[in-house]
Amino acid sequence: MINFEALYKLSYGMYVVSSGDHKSGNAYISNTVFQVTSNPPQIATCCHKDNYTIGFIQQTKAFAVSVLHEHSSSDIFKRLGYKSGRDFKKFEGIHVKYGVSGLPIVLDDAIACFECELVQSIDLGSHMMFIGQLIHSELLEEASEPMTYAYYRDVKKAAAPKKAPTYQAYIGPMVEPDTKGPKRYQCLACDYIYDDAEHDLLFVDLPYDWECPDCGSPKSIFVEIQ
């Protein structure tokens, strides 16, 4: 038996993974970035196969990572996490630099960045895991703490704004089943509202692979609203 709440006890950071070149590129929000060996330093990251960035990683055989700090703006998650680069130029209006490898690197809200050359690609089913050798890294802001996935969820919960962008990564459903009575949930991508009172099933009881009927976004990006 799998207790999904147990999975919430795993710890992650919050990152931007990017790839491409001076002409075109894309980036997405990820919580799965890990150093997997030290000699040589290799970094692993996971990318959903539907993700627009995946083509750039496979083409350039390289990817960059920006580490987000604890006070990163909601904008960066909305821009890079909840929209697709297929129909939105993610780099327009934010700070991007081109690294020693020519990779685009997102600087907004970043405290460190890494450039990696692809060494291995592992098929995980829904996702690819990319393992890259670290060729360049920079500390951009020493004093700031990296954002952890837990911090992101907890702070949003504490502040409880009406439209809190409680970012929930694709790797697991994060809506907690402690609801009493009907509630309302809004899609962060297209603003579609799921009102429990209008449906046979409560939102929390919808299957994990349920998608927004308007824009096809995953259940995990819905947030509770009042």
Decide: is 216 part of the binding site for its own copies (CB under 8 A). Answer: no
Site size with its own copies, rule: CB under 8 A: 56
Tell me the window of 21-29, 84-92, 148-156, 159-167 that interacts with its own copies (CB under 8 A). Answer: 148-156
- Least spacing, CB of residue 118 vs its own copies, in Å: 14
Decide: is 13 part of the binding site for its own copies (CB under 8 A). Answer: yes
- Least spacing, CB of residue 80 vs its own copies, in Å: 18
Decide: is 222 part of the binding site for its own copies (CB under 8 A). Answer: no
Closest CB to its own copies among residues 2, 159: 2
Q: What is the DSSP string of the chain?
A: ---HHHHTTS--B-EEEEEE-SS-EEEEEES-EEEEEETTEEEEEEEETT-THHHHHHHHTEEEEEEEBTT--HHHHHHHHSS-TTSS-TTTTS-EEE-TTS-EEE-TTEEEEEEEEEEEEEE-SSEEEEEEEEEEEEES-SSSPBPBHHHHHHHHHHH--TT------TTS----S---S--EEEETTT--EEEGGGSSS-GGGS-TT-B-TTT--BGGGEEEE-
Residue 219: which of 195, 197, 186 has the closest Cα? Answer: 186
According to CB under 8 A, which residues from 18 to 77 bind its own copies?
32-42, 44, 46, 67
Single out the residue of 55, 58, 117, 150 in contact with its own copies (rule: CB under 8 A).
150
Single out the residue of 9, 22, 23, 86 in contact with its own copies (rule: CB under 8 A).
9
Decide: is 92 part of the binding site for its own copies (CB under 8 A). Answer: no
Single out the residue of 138, 190, 202, 215 in contact with its own copies (rule: CB under 8 A).
138
Alpha carbon 7 to its chain centroid, in Å, reads: 17
- Least spacing, CB of residue 18 vs its own copies, in Å: 16
Residues near its own copies (CB under 8 A) are 1-7, 9-13, 32-42, 44, 46, 67, 111-114, 120, 122, 124-127, 129, 131, 134-139, 142, 145-146, 148-150, 170-173, 208-209
